[in-house]
Structure 1
Amino acid sequence: MTIGPILVTGGSGQVAQALQTLAPGRDMNVVVVGRPDFDFDDAETLRAVLASRPWAYVVNAAAYTAVDAAEADEAGAERANRDGPGLLAELCALSGTPFIHISTDYVFDGSKGAPYQETDPTNPTGAYGRTKRDGEARVLAAGGKSIILRTAWVYADTGKNFVKTMLAAGAKLPKLRVVADQKGSPTAAADLAAAILAIIQVIETRGWELEFGGIYHATGAGETTWHGLAVATFAEAQRHHGPSPEVEPIATADWPTPAQRPADSRLDNTKLFQTFGIQLPDWRASLARTVDRLLGPAG
């Protein structure tokens, strides 16, 4: 029997598109919504979409993700990352609908020196991280069947992301300068989407259990730096005779941005495995598949 309907917010975003692509193969019915029909700047659109039919699950993959722009538009980021998800969680709590909300590694300041666990104190360094942290609090305060998935460094063959930016820049320039002192775990949107659908399958099989609720970390296995991810991207591109620029490692201080990024935002994914039996693949294997989709069959 088909599972659904599953409401997915985020329109043309990477995770929403990945969910829409993967769901049919798992016998799940996903309905993706985005602006203008669903807009965090217009609370009535949220109420209308939630009331349009009985939803089996709601997945919030919509967010204000322009990290630097958020520094000058924190109010806009608050509407999308705090107020909107909070209202969604409240509406889902009223109807008893399980709600899965995507958050970020940027709720941490990156000073721990080891992968963060869900119980570690948050301390965001910028407006984006603050609004996402506050969104988590609103979701949990709603008191419903809510699961929060913190992820990081998301990339795909769709949308705007670091991997696509590197390939485009590398096709034009012989040398690129990439930050090498920020550490994290790249996460393929397809892998995160598969994890979300696997969580839904567990809930379908076992029913909702109190222990399911709360915060989880969900990133690709392994770790690297932005420079390491760039180098790996071009190594994969070589299999397709793609771009092969020189990639110079630089310090964060050499590439100033309006928002301060966490220096080490690795996340510990143990809880996700212990609770749901889910572990995302190693980022390197997923990167290879993504580059294959972007550049076509290897020559």
Structure 2
Amino acid sequence: MILVFGSSGQVASELKPLLPDAVFLARADVDLSDPERCDAVIRSIAPDAVINAAAYTAVDQAEDDEAAAMAVNGHAPTQMAQTCAALGIAFVHISTDYVFDGAGDTPFAPDHPTAPLGAYGRSKLAGEHGVRDAGGVHVILRTSWVFSPYGANFVKTMLRLSQTRDALSVVADQIGGPTPARAIARACVHIAEALRVDPSKSGTYHFSGAPDVSWAQFARAVFDAAHRAVAVTDIATIEYPTPAKRPQNSTLDCTSTVATFGIERPDWRAHLIDLMTELDTPR
């Protein structure tokens, strides 16, 4: 049996149909700002594996509330990993491209030096350090630009804006791989099972959708898939200031994930078409 931290988030929502017998913990079930609760619930349930799909994801808000982000993204997964290590339980933890500084134009390999630009990235990096230092069987799976039918994400934002606007300006100098939450969920389940069979596969891996595109290109693909006539104008990051600085290069080198687990990068374009059907998007 698998225990999942998270219940209503994008990845957790996609895990539910894949793991009908799993235990999903919502915010009301366990307060991630209290790491001791994480320890207690893992020990009481005694699962075969734990997937942490919960996170503080308000990137801009984290700039003003880093302590809250650090509690959920740093301290909580550290405690989860320590408890799993003590009990001999495999642990899968989802992380982010925000642990990198986004410099250059080469995809970041898992062992590339980290240098987060803001509070959110620092909190996620702290969680990574805690998971590794726990010394148990684990995988840290970094991903980027997540989208799904659930929660708030770029695709749903573009669709909402297109209901009242026929032209939008979108950042074109940030590049990354849009990643379907459904593909991340499948990868997590596959990895959790693989770790139980072969703990030596522990480590840090990358998983993002293909092909890599800019936000502006992604927006055009969204409108094409939805058959909505919205003109997209490319703008630079500097023209769209936000409280938190975003990495301009979010591309991830996923070759070790393919080699170790046989999990290929998903084609986000096909998932985007499926998403439009699921959302029953008016055209």
Q: Please give the range of the TM-score, normalised by the shorter of the 2 chains.
A: over 0.9
Does the alignment pair 1:270 with 2:255?
A: yes
Amino acid at match of 2:234: P
> Runs of 5+ in structure 1 lacking a partner?
none
TM-score (norm 2): 0.96
Deviations 1:167-201 (A, max 9, x none): 01111112211111100000000011111112233
TM-score (norm 1): 0.91
Deviation at 1:129, TM superposition (A): 0.6
* 1:193-204 equivalence runs, <5 A: 193-204=185-196
* 89, 92, 96: which one aligns with 2:88: 96
Does the alignment pair 1:18 with 2:14?
A: yes
Deviation at 1:90, TM superposition (A): 0.4
Deviation at 1:221, TM superposition (A): 2.2
Q: Contact 1:178–1:230 (CA<8 Å) still a contact in 2?
A: yes
> Runs of 5+ in structure 2 lacking a partner?
none
Residue in 2 aligned with 1:236?
Answer: 225
Quick one: percent identity of the two aligned structures?
Answer: 47
Deviation at 1:281, TM superposition (A): 1.5
> Superposition RMSD on alpha carbons, in Å?
1.4
* 180, 202, 226: which one aligns with 2:215: 226
In 2: Cα distance, 1:143 partner to 1:288 partner: 41
Deviation at 1:246, TM superposition (A): 1.7
Aligned length: 283
Task: Please give the secondary structure, in 1, of the residue aligned with 2:18.
Answer: helix
Amino acid at match of 1:69: Q
Q: Contact 2:4–2:12 (CA<8 Å) still a contact in 1?
A: yes
In 2: Cα distance, 1:200 partner to 1:11 partner: 18
Does the alignment pair 1:281 with 2:273?
A: no
* 91, 100, 110: which one aligns with 1:108: 100
Q: Contact 1:15–1:190 (CA<8 Å) still a contact in 2?
A: yes
Runs of 4+, deviation exceeding 3 Å: none
Q: Contact 1:86–1:142 (CA<8 Å) still a contact in 2?
A: yes
In 1: Cα distance, 2:5 partner to 2:275 partner: 23
Deviations 1:103-140 (A, max 9, x none): 00011111131101011101111111111111101100
Does the alignment pair 1:184 with 2:173?
A: no
